[in-house]
Amino acid sequence: MASKSASARMVGACALCAGVTLGNIYIGQPLFTVIAAGTGSSLTAAQGLITVSLLGYAAGLLLLVPLADRHNPRNLVRILGTLCAITLACGALSNGLTPIMFATALAAMFSIIPQILIPLVMAEMPPEQRAPAMSVILTGMICGIALSRPIFGGIGDYAGWKATYVTASIVTLIVSWMASFTLPNSPKVHRHSYAELFSSMTRLVRTSPLLRQVALRNAANYAAFNAFWVGLTPLLISPPFSFSAGQASLVGLLGIGATLAAPFAGKLTARSGPRTPLTIGLIALLIAILGFLLGQENLAVVFVAAFLLPIAMLYIQIPSQHAALSIDPAAGGRLNTVFMFTTFLGGAIGSQIAGMVLQRWGWTGLCIEAAIFWLAAFALSRSPKRIS
């Protein structure tokens, strides 16, 4: 294990890198209206940028994260960061919606760096510091989610969406290489072939009811979270609010409040187990859903609900992910692949359904969709296989 000061530097650099790279998968959310206008596409077609980003990220989780169990993490982070920067630059050079979507999906696939960093950091930390360290990295990720929307939306408003892609490319390259220097520079002792890595993942899913439960629960959590973020921009740019796309994306800044709560979730998980933070997360998510449903024409209520949403997501994810990675620390990359692939598949499903629901039943229908996902998360928390 690394020294205390080296561990602190590594956790801090990994949190920054995680925030920047995760933010890339949300580049389409504040920009799809601008890209639709610039490419002559319909809003419905351009909204597909959100879904392909999540599907690209899910593909990266499935195909690339398992490599963390057999390759030098420093080199792996550098390669992925460089590939992500290149694909974002290709997006900036594209003029049609289809090539933009393709470049965005590839950039999202290479943006899975946070899911390599989390199990790596947990393996480097003593057991009592693992949940708090993970919460710091997740704090960085929430900051990335919260800040990416207003930053990308603001650049898109004032300099165009192409400038947004160029900016994301440059920052990703710099931050990923910077973080790589803090990581252990040692080859992995596991010499599994690529096929053996996938075979062992299948075995982990088959033999661990706990892994299946926490992964499905967080998928439902993320589906509800993503459904609202898909719908917030159309809600805020429409009457009675009539925001611009850039102004609507500023609502994402409310998510920074979750960064104040995340360390407490990690400490609470380490001290008293997963039940308490999980309960807090489910209650906060239910309050957010009710706020969005009952106060959809009240800007203050919408803001409060948007503030609670990422807090709820973190308080459900931290104990769930900690439980998944604790099953076998030596298989952290593969366990995290199963957990996060399931999570982002849930997010992609939630966002895709949200787009269809919004068109047919409006914001009320979207709130009902989120409530159904909340019920699924609640049921998976109350099952006989719940975390002890």
What CATH number corresponds to the domain at position 316? 1.20.1250.20
Question: Is the pLDDT at 331 greater than 90, yes or no?
Answer: no
- Residue with the bigger pLDDT between 261 and 292: it is 292
Question: Is the pLDDT at 303 greater than 70, yes or no?
Answer: yes
pLDDT the model gives residue 286: 97
HSE-up of 186 (CA within 13 Å, CB side)? 8
Question: Is the pLDDT at 376 greater than 60, yes or no?
Answer: yes
Q: What is the pLDDT of residues 237-251, one digit of tens each?
A: 888 888 876 677 677
Kindly state the DSSP code that residue 94 receives in the 8-state scheme: -
Using a pLDDT cut of 70, give the percent of the chain over it. Answer: 93
247 within a domain of the structure (yes/no):
yes
Tell me the average pLDDT of the chain: 87
Identify whether 127 is preceded by a cis peptide bond (ω within 30 of 0).
no
Mean pLDDT of 350-360: 89
HSE-up of 245 (CA within 13 Å, CB side)? 24
AA letter at 72? N
AA letter at 374? W
186 within a domain of the structure (yes/no):
no
Question: Is the pLDDT at 2 greater than 80, yes or no?
Answer: no
Nearest to 358 by CA among 370, 349, 366, 346: 366
pLDDT the model gives residue 339: 93
Kindly state the DSSP code that residue 372 receives in the 8-state scheme: H
pLDDT the model gives residue 249: 66
Across 179-183, 208-212, 256-260, 273-277, least confident range? 256-260
Residue-range definition of the domain harbouring residue 46:
4-180+196-381
Q: With bands split at pLDDT 50, 70 and 90, how would you rate the model's confidence at 369? A: very high
386 within a domain of the structure (yes/no):
no
- Residue with the bigger pLDDT between 224 and 243: it is 224
pLDDT the model gives residue 386: 41
170 within a domain of the structure (yes/no):
yes
Residue with tokens 């159904």: 372
375 within a domain of the structure (yes/no):
yes
pLDDT the model gives residue 340: 87
Q: Ranked by mean pLDDT, which of 119-128, 260-269, 371-380 comes out on top?
A: 371-380
Do 14 and 140 form a contact (C-beta atoms < 8 A)?
Answer: yes
pLDDT the model gives residue 245: 67
Mean pLDDT of 42-53: 85
Q: What is the pLDDT of residues 65-122, one digit of tens each?
A: 888 877 888 899 999 999 999 999 999 998 899 999 999 999 999 999 998 998 888 8
Q: How many helices (H) and strands (E) does the chain have?
A: 16, 0
Do 299 and 241 form a contact (C-beta atoms < 8 A)?
Answer: yes
C-alpha distances out from residue 372 to 102, 286, 324, Å:
31, 11, 24
Residue with tokens 């104040």: 260
Q: Report the C-alpha gap between 367 and 296 in whole angstroms.
A: 10
Domain count for the chain? 1
173 within a domain of the structure (yes/no):
yes
pLDDT the model gives residue 29: 81
- Residue with the bigger pLDDT between 266 and 246: it is 266
Q: Report the C-alpha gap between 327 and 321 in whole angstroms.
A: 10
pTM beyond 0.85: the answer is: no
pLDDT the model gives residue 293: 93
189 within a domain of the structure (yes/no):
no
191 within a domain of the structure (yes/no):
no
Q: Report the C-alpha gap between 25 and 136 in whole angstroms.
A: 20
Q: With bands split at pLDDT 50, 70 and 90, how would you rate the model's confidence at 385? A: very low
Maximum Cα interatomic distance, the chain, rounded to a whole number of Å = 59
Question: Is the pLDDT at 388 greater than 50, yes or no?
Answer: no
pLDDT the model gives residue 296: 87
pLDDT the model gives residue 84: 97
Mean pLDDT of 265-292: 91
pLDDT the model gives residue 5: 65
